[in-house]
Amino acid sequence: MRPFVLEQPANIPAAVALASNFAAPDRPPTQSDMQFIAGGTNLADYMKLDVAQPSRLLDLNRLSEPALRQIRVTAEGVRFGALVRMGEAADDKDVRLYYPVIADSLRLAASGQLRNMASLAGNVLQRTRCEYFREISWACNKRQPGSGCAAMDGFNRQHAVLGVSDACIATYHGDFAQALIALDANLHVEGSRGAREIRFADLHRLPGDTPHVETGLAADEIITAIDVPAGPWTRRSRYLKVRDRESYAFALASAAVALDLDGNNVREARIALGGVATVPWRAREAEAVLHGKILDEATARAAAETAFADARPRDHNAFKIELGKRTLVRALLETRDMKV
């Protein structure tokens, strides 16, 4: 690990002021010499591997604002402070009752030790675990723009089939983000240009020709809260994760599903897919297939076929298409049968 300066600002305004002084305005956050750190479960790994090389870290754990560490569930929805730990949110009784898809996605995301360390805001900003990104001797457009993508013709079993480009096929490996995008979450952000609210769906960027630009955040912007609106679908929701082993592992395919039903008739469906895409993936076309229909295996399969209609596999990951379809069908039918 390279040497770095550690800053520990006392509050959000101080953190923003420090960040605006040291962040490079012409570079995306992932390429900046200044990085924020909270739990550090992702960034510390990449600093050890020399993938991330910040010369200055801004530790957010001493920020004094109480709301950063609070979970507030009301009739309008739930607000998570950015520094709430994954384990705290997964264990919250109201989150488990009213937003089970969120609790499931957090519980299945990592080991207990990591869940107790990782912050919610940091989790949604985690970077890919692509083997070619993690190993600095390989060409990677996400790590070194313009260098190429060794995964294209390499061993790409873990890689994405949705949202890919000719520059990058790295999977977004997070779980919590699938629940957030399915439930139309919003983010509160503060930076040198002031405070703003953005749709979670607008946070992550498809790789296109610039896979190193991963989010729409400026380098000096801090996520302060995550809002999830209440809806008639939030209690009938779940997250299904399929992986190589049942214990701590990234998804080969996953599905976050939330349903508003009249009997077995679908009034509204919310679907997000994980383990198969370059960003948190909302399957809106699949949702439309289900609207107004009786949810049975046939309609679930039709939705799944639609969800993967534009999939682009490589040599070793074509199996993810059928696996992803079956995962979605199972998630839909199991969510339909939930007792709420």
pTM over 0.85: yes
**Whether residue 85 sits in one domain with residue 212:** yes
**Whether residue 281 sits in one domain with residue 178:** no
CB environment 227-246: b (16+ within 10 A), e (fewer): bbebbebbbbbbbbbbeeee
Q: Does residue 23 surpass a pLDDT of 80?
A: no
- CA distance linking residue 310 with residue 163, whole number of Å: 9
Strand partners, 74: 77
**Whether residue 225 sits in one domain with residue 79:** yes
- Comparing CA positions, the residue from 166, 175, 241 lying closest to residue 206 is 166
Domain count, the chain: 3
Q: Residue 145 domain-assigned?
A: no
The model's pLDDT over 69-81, given as tens digits with 9 standing for 90+, comes to 999 999 999 999 9
The model's pLDDT over 54-66, given as tens digits with 9 standing for 90+, comes to 999 999 999 999 9
Q: Residue 318 domain-assigned?
A: yes
CATH number at residue 77: 3.30.465.10
Range of the domain at 48: 5-58
Q: Which residues contact 80 (CB under 8 A, 6 or more apart)?
A: 71, 89, 120, 225, 226, 228
**Strand 56-59 versus strand 5-7 pairing type:** parallel
129 phi and psi, to 5 degrees? -105, 20
The model's pLDDT over 264-284, given as tens digits with 9 standing for 90+, comes to 999 999 999 999 999 999 999
What per-residue confidence (pLDDT) applies to 307? 98
The model's pLDDT over 299-339, given as tens digits with 9 standing for 90+, comes to 999 999 999 999 999 999 999 999 999 999 999 999 999 99
What is the distance of C-alpha 326 from the center of its chain? 21
